[in-house]
Amino acid sequence: MPTKSFREAINEGLRQEMERDDSVIIMGEDIAGGMGSPGEDDAWGGPMGVTKGLMPQFGRERVLDTPISESAFIGCAAGAAVTGLRPVAELMFVDFMGVCFDQIFNQAAKFRYMFGGKATTPLVIRTMYGAGFRAASQHSQCLYPLFTHIPGLKVAIPSNPYEAKGLLIQAIRDDDPVVFFEHKVMYDDEADVPDEIYTIPFGEANVSREGDDATVIAFGRMVNLANEAADRLKESGITVTVVDPRTTSPLDKETILETASETGRVVVVDEAHPRCNLATDISALICENCFDDLKAPIKQICGHHAPVPFSPALEDLYIPKVESIEAAVRELVGKGH
């Protein structure tokens, strides 16, 4: 199976869906790049080069460079989706989403409901999240809990290039609005990614490690840290189940509860700020449904309740570490025998 980067996996997923279905269009700031500037066409492919090569193949009709106005082009994409297109809009940083919350929360998410099921909104919003890019507090947040909160939106957080391609194709084919989160420090991560088209269903968690002593539930980039912690712990005889829910809406509650009950010791890892995030949500879910199976209190490993710092030293401190996951598991394993 060929090895591809996260960037290449997303690009390939977009290209294959655009080849298969003429109604798929993409739009966003500088996703082709060069328009109206002295630079050559397709100079950019978005700030991370993810969409490079799509404009020459599909043309300006289907690859739309937009003005720097998120409220305008996200609203435009939602409207286009209702008329029958399948727009994939790239909103550079999720931190900028605030200017178009009405378009997303109150319009796109609710069209199906408000029109009594007569309208669908097959819209995908691709966006970057996460810390570690030295991009300071206005470009480093993990705002997926906000979108998970809103009924009518679906939220996907791929944890590696293989997951990214399969989840993206699924997102494009979904008839509801999907917010698709890409961690900005993961674009060069590599994995085996099939050349063929494949889909990963929403609401189906991936269990990437199977163990007996503890269950670590992690999201997006944190899944890789959890896997590494599990591999390290295995060397000292502690086996850990790692669960990647893949999508937070819909959420695979069944696998989360099943794996939590199996080991009775749970660590939830979420890079987002700690209040009202996914770790609190998952912890509540487990407490409510399988409290009797728990052998120890649930541990949450999260970012801090503070803006992501610009200082590199402080930013590094902000992000959850493999070591902290490992330590949390060791602490839990000492309990409940």
What amino acid positions are annotated as catalytic residues? 139
Residues in the chain: 337
Give min distance, CB of 286 to other proteins, in A.
Answer: 18
CA atoms within 13 A on the CB side of 156: 29
Give min distance, CB of 209 to other proteins, in A.
Answer: 8
Closest Cα to residue 265, out of 240, 237, 234, 301? 240
Which residue(s) pair with 89 in the sheet?
27, 125
Q: 17 vs 315, which CB is nearer to other proteins?
A: 17
The answer to whether residues 312 and 134 touch, using CB atoms and an 8 Å cutoff, is yes
Q: How far apart are CA 179 and CA 314, in angstroms?
A: 29
Phi, psi of 166 (to 5 degrees): -65, -40
Give min distance, CB of 210 to other proteins, in A.
Answer: 5
Tokens read off for 226: 């959890």
Burial of 310: CB neighbours in 10 Å, binned 0-12, 13-18, 19+: middle
Which residue(s) pair with 300 in the sheet?
268
Q: 149 vs 234, which CB is nearer to other proteins?
A: 234
Q: 185 vs 290, which CB is nearer to other proteins?
A: 290
Q: 32 vs 223, which CB is nearer to other proteins?
A: 223
Tokens 């507090």 sit at which residue?
A: 137
Give min distance, CB of 5 to other proteins, in A.
Answer: 18
Q: How far apart are CA 92 and CA 331, in angstroms?
A: 39
Give min distance, CB of 197 to other proteins, in A.
Answer: 4
Give min distance, CB of 309 to other proteins, in A.
Answer: 37
Q: How far apart are CA 94 and CA 182, in angstroms?
A: 10
The answer to whether residues 109 and 75 touch, using CB atoms and an 8 Å cutoff, is no
Which residues of the chain form contacts with other proteins (CB under 8 A)?
1, 162, 166, 192, 194, 196-200, 204, 207-208, 210, 255
Q: 155 vs 167, which CB is nearer to other proteins?
A: 167
Q: How far apart are CA 119 and CA 189, in angstroms?
A: 38
Closest Cα to residue 126, out of 163, 173, 98, 164? 164
Q: 1 vs 68, which CB is nearer to other proteins?
A: 1
Q: 100 vs 200, which CB is nearer to other proteins?
A: 200
Tokens read off for 61: 């009709």
Do the bridges between strand 3-5 and strand 190-192 make them parallel or antiparallel, or are there none, so unpaired? antiparallel
Q: For residues 252, 214, 191 and 62, what is the CA-based torsion angle, rounded to 10 degrees?
A: 30
Give min distance, CB of 57 to other proteins, in A.
Answer: 20
